[in-house]
Each structure stands twice: as structure tokens, then as C-alpha cells.
Amino acid sequence: MIKRLWAKLGLSSSPTAESLSSENIPVHVAIIMDGNGRWAKKRGLPRMAGHHSGMKTVKRITIAADRLGVKYLTLYAFSTENWKRPKAEVDFLMKLPQQFLDIELDELVSNNVQVRMMGSRDNLPPHTINALEEAISKTANNTGLVLNFALNYGSRMEMLDAIRDLAKDVKDGKLAPGDIDEEAMSERLLSSGLPDPDLLIRTSGELRLSNFMLWQLAYSELWFTDVYWPEFTEKHFYEAIGQYQRRARRYGGL
Ligand code: FPP
């Protein structure tokens, strides 16, 4: 009763999974995991400690999303722009998928989670690709939550590749210019086969998309929090979903 009242007022009490409507769970949640570095700095720790702690949040939120019945969880782990960081940090970030999967893969397999990767394999070190390929192949037949790592991902790069592919098909006479529609574009993006995100979450107080899923987020609900990714908990996740459930999605209609 109290919770409903809070919700009516647009306020969030301390949300729990049970306070959410099971009818309206977002099918696809995408997250820009930001603030690892600032979290570490605030504690006088090296930036890497922030990334390491962020990896634990990945586990926490994967479990929470799975329990709620989210079908797709896309996590922005490394952008095409992140190569500009100091080499030591890039090297560290490139080790995280392997570290994470070394510990978690068996549990992901037994929990029916399917691992995917969305990004360019170019320039990724072999140990990163191998760890991901192993996880992708071992979980390929799983039918539960799809855990999609956006790694070496950039939306403009992805769209340019898709446009080049469309142009080639037109040049080769396989496609008429008039037949280029949203479907033709979507199926050439790295997210092909995934529905567009219903909800985008970005942590750490930054209010921008940072070249993330620019095409796919056209009608997504956006939710921002000041909380840094390493301290993002299930409660924050439920809060985001509670907000999502209180919004009216009109897709440009009335
Ligand atoms: C942005 O925060 C975060 C990243 C570039 C890396 C995100 C990676 C993880 C959370 C771990 C990924 C785990 C797996 C399993 C792949 P930032 O470091 O730029 O933070 P800042 O803006 O505070 O400096």
C-alpha cells in the first residue's frame, strides 16, 4: 500500500524485486557502466581497482536481471574510443573478460545464460577473443538471459559498416535503393537478432550516450544515476526498472 503510494507520487522507497510489476519487465536492458575510475580515486585507489570492482557489479546485475526475467542485458565494456587510454589501463581492461569468465563461466552455463559479444574483433588480444569465443560456444544453446558484452564497440563505426554493406548490395544489384528500410539497416548492425533496448541505464552522473547504440536507442527509455558503477547494486537496478514501469512509451504517438 505504502509502496504503491510512493510510486504514485513518483517517489521511490527502497525498491525490491517484489515491488516491480512482473507484467512489464523490460525485455532488453543496456547499461553504460561508468565511474570506475572516479570510484577508485575517491578511495585513493588506482583506477584498475575501480575496474576490478566494476567486474563484481557485472556479476551482481547479471544475476538480478536474470531473476527479474530480463531477456537481454547489454553491457558497454570497452568502446572504440577507449583505445586512447594509457596502455596499462587498456591491457588491464582487455584482461577483464577472461578473468570474469574464468570464474563465472560454469555458473553462466548452468544458469542457462547465453553469452554474446557485440563489437569488432580487430585489435583485440588473442586471450580476450579466446575467452569470449569459448564462452560464446559453450553457451550457444542456452535459452535464458542473453548477456551481451559490447567490447571494442562504437555505434558510428557500426552504422558506417552497415551503410557500406547496403551500398555494396545496391551496387551489385541485390538491393534497390527504395528497399533500404529500417529492417535492412538493423539486420546489418552488430546487434542483429536482438530487439532494441527498452531501457538504457548510465551510471556515474554523465548525461550522454558516448557512441553507444545510437540507432537502437531511438525509442528507449533513458535512466541516469549519479551512482558509480562499482557501487551500483540490485536496489539501483530495481529503481531504474520501477521508473521504467511508471513511464508511458508512446513511440511518437499519443
Ligand atoms: C568507464 O568508466 C568504464 C569502462 C571503460 C570499463 C567498464 C568495464 C567494467 C565495468 C568491467 C567489465 C567487466 C567485464 C566482465 C567485461 P571509467 O573507468 O571511464 O570511469 P571514470 O569515468 O570514472 O574514469
pLDDT tens-digit readout, 151-182? 999 999 999 999 999 999 999 999 999 999 99
How many angstroms does the Cα of residue 92 sit away from the middle of ligand 1?
A: 11
The pLDDT score that the predictor gives to residue 114 is: 98
β-bridge mates for residue 198, sequence order:
none
DSSP 86-108: -HHHHHHHHHHHHHHHHHHHHHH
Q: Given the C-alpha cell 564497440, which residue does it identify?
A: 153
How many angstroms does the Cα of residue 48 sit away from the middle of ligand 1?
A: 9
Residue with the nearest Cα to atom 11 of ligand 1? 55
DSSP 150-200: EEEE-HHHHHHHHHHHHHHHHHTTSS-GGG--HHHHHTTSTTTTSPPPSEE
The pLDDT score that the predictor gives to residue 183 is: 98
How many angstroms does the Cα of residue 232 sit away from the middle of ligand 1?
A: 13
Query: Which atom of ligand 1 lies closest to the CA of 82?
Result: 5
- Based on the residue annotation, tell me whether 111 is a catalytic residue of this protein: no
> What is the rounded CA–CA span in Å between residue 167 and residue 180?
10
Q: Given the C-alpha cell 550522454, which residue does it identify?
A: 208
The pLDDT score that the predictor gives to residue 133 is: 98
Is ligand 1 within 6 A of the CB of residue 96? Answer: yes
- Phi and psi at residue 77, to the nearest 5°: -95, -25
Q: Given the C-alpha cell 575510475, which residue does it identify?
A: 37
- Phi and psi at residue 28, to the nearest 5°: -125, 120
> What is the rounded CA–CA span in Å between residue 176 and residue 189?
19
Feature table: binding site for substrate: 35-39, 47, 51, 79-81, 83, 85, 202, 208-210
How many angstroms does the Cα of residue 34 sit away from the middle of ligand 1?
A: 6
Feature table: binding site: 34-39, 47, 51, 79-81, 83, 85, 202, 208-210, 221
Residue ranges of the chain whose pLDDT lies below 70? 1-14
The pLDDT score that the predictor gives to residue 226 is: 98
* Helix pair angle (47-68, 87-110), 10° resolution: 30
Is ligand 1 within 6 A of the CB of residue 77? Answer: yes
Under a CB-based contact definition with an 8 Å cutoff, are residues 220 and 197 in contact? yes
Tell me the whole-structure pTM to 2 decimals: 0.94
The pLDDT score that the predictor gives to residue 106 is: 98
Is ligand 1 within 6 A of the CB of residue 25? Answer: no
> What is the rounded CA–CA span in Å between residue 247 and residue 12?
14
The pLDDT score that the predictor gives to residue 13 is: 58
CA distances from 30 to 68, 88, 138, 160, 184 (A): 15, 27, 23, 21, 22
Under a CB-based contact definition with an 8 Å cutoff, are residues 156 and 214 in contact? yes
Please choose, from the candidates 195, 71, 196, the residue with its C-alpha nearest in 3D space to the C-alpha of residue 144.
71
Q: Which of 66, 82, 148, 198 is catalytic?
A: 82
Please report the sign of the dihedral spanned by the C-alpha atoms of residue 111, residue 53, residue 231, residue 215.
Answer: negative
